[in-house]
């Protein structure tokens, strides 16, 4: 394999879910594609690292400061939805159901990975609670996410702010026959009056 091809394969292999075979296929596809294709992709990746930084208010990744969501006067100021990752915001925005602000922790408490509260953007969250009446804890429904929500709940409740957690249950469209056991158990525990 010629050096430039080998090093492109080597670099693409670093991406998650892309092994040697896929990387090789992608590189030869780029070599076969219209001239300029690899360049255009490379330019976009270069722009990524230079143009993106955390928003000074919500810690979401942004190219402007404050980010478009924090700068939007139509978003409610009194509600903050706390998520683990910037891409979680995309999911909420796709749902079209939420009109408040966000706060990105950039992770969850995971002692085994050496991530404690100090490694998360919790200080930044506390600093912006003025005028906030509700904090929605939207960390992932796994061990780390639940631990983070528990920690934040204990931290925020004494400050007089309403703290809520996303509902867990079976997802819409799931056939009960195929629902996973944990979600079904949560759906039972959290059942509501008709």
Closest separation in Å from C-beta 94 to its own copies: 11
Q: Is 40 in the site for its own copies (CB under 8 A)?
A: yes
Sheet with 134-137, side-by-side order of all strands? 101-104, 79-83, 134-137, 162-165
Joined tokens for residue 57: 């208010």
Q: Is 115 in the site for its own copies (CB under 8 A)?
A: no
Closest to its own copies by CB, 82 vs 156, is 82
Q: Is 112 in the site for its own copies (CB under 8 A)?
A: no
Q: Is 17 in the site for its own copies (CB under 8 A)?
A: yes
Choose the binding region for its own copies from 19-27, 75-83, 109-117, 161-169 (rule: CB under 8 A): 19-27
Closest to its own copies by CB, 45 vs 176, is 45
Q: Is 7 in the site for its own copies (CB under 8 A)?
A: yes
Interface pick for its own copies out of 57, 58, 59, 62 (rule CB under 8 A): 62
Joined tokens for residue 25: 């296929």
Choose the binding region for its own copies from 39-47, 70-78, 117-125, 151-159 (rule: CB under 8 A): 39-47
* Count of residues of this chain found to bind its own copies when the rule CB under 8 A is applied: 53
DSSP string, 53-96: EE-TTT--EESSSS-HHHH-TTS-SSEEEEESSHHHHHHHHHHT
Q: Is 42 in the site for its own copies (CB under 8 A)?
A: yes
Angle ∠(23,29,31) on CA atoms, nearest 5: 105
The answer for 114, left when phi > 0, alpha when psi is -120 to 50, beta otherwise, is left
Contacts for 39 with CB less than 8 Å, ≥ 6 apart: none
Choose the binding region for its own copies from 84-92, 127-135, 136-144, 172-180 (rule: CB under 8 A): 84-92
Contacts for 113 with CB less than 8 Å, ≥ 6 apart: none
Contact 126, 151 (CB under 8 A): no
User: What residues line the site for its own copies (CB under 8 A)?
Assistant: 1-5, 7-8, 10-12, 14-18, 22, 24-31, 33, 35-52, 61-64, 67-68, 85-87, 90
């Amino acid at each position: 394999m010629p050096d430039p091809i080998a090093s492109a394969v080597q670099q693409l292999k670093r991406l998650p879910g892309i092994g040697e075979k896929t990387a090789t296929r992608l590189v030869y596809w780029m070599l076969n594609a219209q001239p300029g294709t690899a360049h255009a992709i490379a330019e976009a990746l270069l722009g990524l690292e230079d143009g993106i930084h955390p928003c000074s208010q919500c810690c979401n990744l942004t190219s402007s400061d404050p980010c478009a969501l924090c700068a939007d006067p139509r978003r409610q100021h009194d509600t903050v939805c706390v998520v683990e990752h910037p891409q979680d915001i995309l999911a909420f925005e796709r749902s079209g159901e939420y009109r408040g602000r966000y706060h990105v922790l950039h992770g969850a408490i995971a002692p085994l990975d050496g991530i404690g509260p100090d490694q998360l953007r919790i200080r930044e969250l506390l600093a912006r609670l003025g005028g906030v009446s509700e904090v929605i804890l939207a960390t992932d429904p796994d061990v780390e996410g639940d631990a983070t929500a528990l920690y934040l709940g204990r931290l925020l409740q004494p400050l007089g702010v309403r703290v809520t957690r996303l509902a867990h249950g079976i997802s819409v469209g799931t056939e009960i026959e195929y629902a996973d056991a944990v979600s079904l158990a949560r759906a039972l525990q959290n059942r509501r009056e008709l």
